[in-house]
Structure formats: structure tokens, C-alpha cells
Amino acid sequence: MEYIKIRFGDDSDRLESRFEKNIEDMFRSISPMFSLSEKTWKPQVDIYETEKKIMILAEIAGVCQKDLEIEINSKAVRIFGKRYELPRGERAKYRLAEIQFGNFERILFLPVMIDPENVTASYDNGFLKIHLTKKPVEKTFRIPIVEG
């Protein structure tokens, strides 16, 4: 059974941000109209699997269900939406601001093919749960060759 490799503490987010900035600078030099419209944040996600299913658990507290979308195909899942900033007091000043707001997106490439017609999703207590059914491994058949 193949499992998804999980890496903690790598620099992929920092490298991705640098890459996005370089791409944006390159296009902006061609025309000022080109720019990345909004920065996105990435919700934390767990992916685990059994023999027949893959489960995705995304932490997206504070996102209204109407502002959440999921797209799938047989090899990937895209979770995206928007979390709006909560109003703060009239004369309040931030002393610490770690909660991210705005658009978010996660594209998750899966290690095996899934059946896009056999997927369920639920949203409860700030967690999005997606259950994906793996496609059975296709068998290979030998075909006899006959003359003429």
C-alpha cells in the first residue's frame, strides 16, 4: 500500500511565495495590468487512507459553508473559498494578528486514482471532511493473437 509522504518544517511556502513574486514581477514588467489579484492562505490539511478510501480533513474554522467550494477529478482535489475578517472593536488595536482572512486554496494531488462520482463531504465545527473512494486497480489481460 502506498502512503502519502508528509514533511514538516520545509521551506516550500517560502519558496512558493518567492516564486509567485518573481512571476508577478516578470508579468508586471510586460504590462502593469498583470498582477496576482489577492494573496491566498492555505488551510492546514490532514490526508489519510485505508485500503479502499482516502480521507481529507481541512481546518477552516470561521468559513461559512456558502463560501466554500470543492472541485475533484480522478487524481486531485481543490478546496477553495473565502474567510471574512471578523469586526473588531471601534477603538481596538491589534497586539497580535495570526488568523488569516481572505481567499484560500489547497490543491491536493492524490497518490492513487479515485472515483469522482463516489465522494462525500461534510462540514462540522470548522473542519471539512472529504471521503474519496479509490478506483480499483485495473487488471491486465493477455489477448491471444490469431492469424489473419
Looking at per-residue pLDDT, the higher value among 145 and 88 belongs to: 145
pLDDT of residue 143: 86
Same-domain status, 118 and 78: yes
Same-domain status, 52 and 70: yes
As a whole number, mean pLDDT of residues 98-105 equals: 91
Average pLDDT, the chain: 81
Same-domain status, 29 and 50: no
Looking at per-residue pLDDT, the higher value among 92 and 66 belongs to: 66
Same-domain status, 71 and 110: yes
pLDDT of residue 93: 82
Same-domain status, 76 and 132: yes
Query: Residue 3: is its pLDDT beyond 60?
Result: no
Angle ∠(40,41,46) on CA atoms, nearest 5 = 135
**How would you label 28-48 residue by residue, b for 16+ Cβ within 10 Å and e otherwise?**
eeeeeeeeeeeeeeebebebe
Query: Residue 7: is its pLDDT beyond 50?
Result: no
pLDDT of residue 142: 87
Question: In terms of C-beta distances under 8 Å and separation of at least 24 residues, what long-range contacts does 3-6 make, across chains too?
Answer: 3/49, 3/111, 4/47, 4/49, 4/111
Looking at per-residue pLDDT, the higher value among 135 and 10 belongs to: 135
In a domain, 145, yes or no: no
Following CA atoms 70, 71, 77, 78 in sequence, which dihedral angle do they give, to the nearest 10 degrees? -70
pLDDT of residue 132: 95
Q: Judge contact between 101 and 38, C-beta under 8 A.
A: no
Banded pLDDT at 47 (limits 50, 70, 90):
very high
As a whole number, mean pLDDT of residues 12-31 equals: 56
Report the alpha-carbon distance of residue 15 to residue 31 in Å, rounded.
24
Rounded to an integer, what is the distance from CA 72 to the centroid of its chain? 10
> What are the CA-CA distances from residue 55 to residues 67, 120, 131, 132 (Å)?
21, 10, 5, 6
